[in-house]
């Protein structure tokens, strides 16, 4: 096998950005991924003419113009605005918590009326020092919003009662006293027309790619394949879990094609009661304003939060004190690896939105290229 400048482990967004910038700078890259496709968790596939987000809803949003301009090299983005709806036992509420939410909940009209309702409920609870997530949320939004829109959904996400979760998980809960259903406040927002996979394909155009390839098996057979490795997998797995196992939350999806043109009328509906087993239903055609004409089909995904155990697909780091302390120890080991760079959600054990992944990857590859230039000088 030929020798490369970089072996990039993981064909997700971090690995793809690194590869694109490195190959642009004249470096040779081999990108491997254990899955049977590129693009990681932002992978989209075409089903019935609909770009399906296989691993859950991905809406690109950022305030960083450099990142926005960078990603727009590879796709045209539509005007999609994230406006999820909450379903609580058949009652529908707009998210984020805004005047549409409060008007439906209390039959009020003005921001001051909403503020009064919330303030009265918070005062009646008399919570001075929240001891758990439930008390923290109640002290921020009052009883009604918590019971209908936070409690059941959060307990499904974490697999624990809110009274058993630490208060620091929720530092703030945005209350918006306007009739604006835009979930994000970012200046730039949208979804790439044609899905995310073509973006990653273009980013990886200058690299060699191997899918269905496990890094640990591959490196045994090809230990000298590259001068340097960019590792975007689990940092604890790289070190064979020798300091202990970092914890994650996982997610699973049940996806089906339906012989109806429009199942729920919105891309994302959260189910906030405890009894409904899934956390939300995604109807993928609405991300790109797909046809709802009679005779067309639709694709929906029910999303379930799941406990994670080694061997499962990790999605979200559990950044509590215990896991953060363990990650710090792994980070010290990583910093001592002169020929390995760690990046991405799993490599850095961080919850990253897509724009933050790109920021991190661009910064990382810039440092690597700078080091090479310094060495040459």
> What contacts 46, CB < 8 A, 6 or more positions away?
52, 195
Return the SS3 of 305.
strand
Ramachandran area for residue 212 (φ above 0: left; ψ -120 to 50: alpha; else beta): left
CA dihedral angle for residue 204, residue 205, residue 211, residue 216, rounded to 10 degrees: -50
* 35 is a catalytic site residue: no
* 353 is a catalytic site residue: yes
* 172 is a catalytic site residue: yes
66-to-62, 70, 164, 184, 219 alpha-carbon distances in Å: 10, 6, 41, 18, 35
User: What would the two tokens of residue 24 be?
Assistant: 């642009």
Which listed residue (91, 217, 241, 351) is catalytic? Answer: 351
Neighbouring CB atoms inside 10 A of 100's CB total: 19
* 176 is a catalytic site residue: yes
DSSP code per residue over 178-216: SS---S---SEEE-BTT-SHHHHHHHTTTSEEE-S--HH
Which one-letter DSSP state was computed for residue 168?
A: G
Which listed residue (79, 172, 275, 321) is catalytic? Answer: 172
Which listed residue (303, 348, 355, 359) is catalytic? Answer: 303
What's the rounded Cα separation, in Å, for the pair 66 and 81? 20
* 249 is a catalytic site residue: yes
Which listed residue (176, 271, 327, 349) is catalytic? Answer: 176
Which listed residue (280, 283, 345, 349) is catalytic? Answer: 280
* 280 is a catalytic site residue: yes
Closest CA to 324 of 343, 350, 290: 350
Which listed residue (196, 249, 327, 349) is catalytic? Answer: 249
Active site residues: 172, 176, 249, 280, 303, 351, 353
């Amino acid at each position: 096998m030929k020798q490369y400048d970089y072996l990039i482990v993981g064909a997700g967004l971090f690995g793809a950005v690194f590869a694109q910038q490195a190959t642009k700078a004249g470096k040779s890259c081999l990108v491997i991924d254990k899955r049977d496709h590129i693009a990681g968790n932002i992978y989209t596939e075409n089903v019935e003419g609909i770009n399906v987000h296989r691993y859950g809803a991905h809406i690109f949003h950022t305030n960083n113009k450099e990142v926005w301009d960078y990603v727009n090299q590879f796709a045209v983005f539509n005007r999609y605005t994230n406006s999820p709806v909450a379903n609580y036992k058949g009652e529908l509420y707009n998210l984020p918590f805004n005047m549409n939410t409060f008007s439906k909940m209390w039959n009020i009209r003005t921001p001051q009326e909403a503020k009064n309702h919330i303030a009265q409920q918070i005062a009646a609870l008399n919570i001075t020092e929240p001891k758990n997530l439930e008390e923290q949320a109640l002290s921020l939004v009052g009883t009604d919003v918590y019971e209908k829109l936070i409690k059941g959904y959060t307990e499904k996400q974490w697999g624990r009662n809110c009274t058993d979760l630490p208060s620091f998980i929720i530092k703030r809960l945005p209350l918006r006293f306007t009739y604006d259903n835009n979930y994000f406040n970012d200046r730039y927002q949208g979804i790439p027309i044609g899905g995310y996979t073509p973006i990653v394909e273009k980013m990886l155009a200058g690299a060699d790619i191997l899918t269905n390839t496990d890094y640990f098996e591959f490196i045994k057979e090809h230990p000298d394949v590259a001068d340097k490795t960019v590792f975007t997998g689990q940092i604890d797995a790289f070190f064979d879990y020798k300091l202990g196992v970092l914890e994650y939350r996982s997610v699973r999806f049940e996806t089906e094609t339906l012989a109806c043109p429009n199942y729920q009328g919105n891309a994302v509906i959260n189910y906030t009661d405890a009894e409904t087993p899934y956390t939300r239903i995604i109807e993928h055609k609405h991300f790109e304003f797909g046809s709802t004409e009679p005779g067309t089909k639709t694709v929906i995904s029910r999303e379930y939060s799941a406990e994670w155990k080694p061997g499962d697909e990790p999605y979200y780091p559990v950044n509590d004190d215990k896991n953060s302390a363990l990650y710090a120890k792994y980070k010290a080991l990583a910093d001592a690896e002169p020929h390995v760079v760690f990046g991405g959600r799993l490599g850095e054990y961080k919850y990253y939105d897509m724009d933050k992944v790109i920021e991190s990857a661009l910064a990382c590859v810039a440092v690597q290229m700078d080091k090479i230039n310094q060495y040459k000088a």
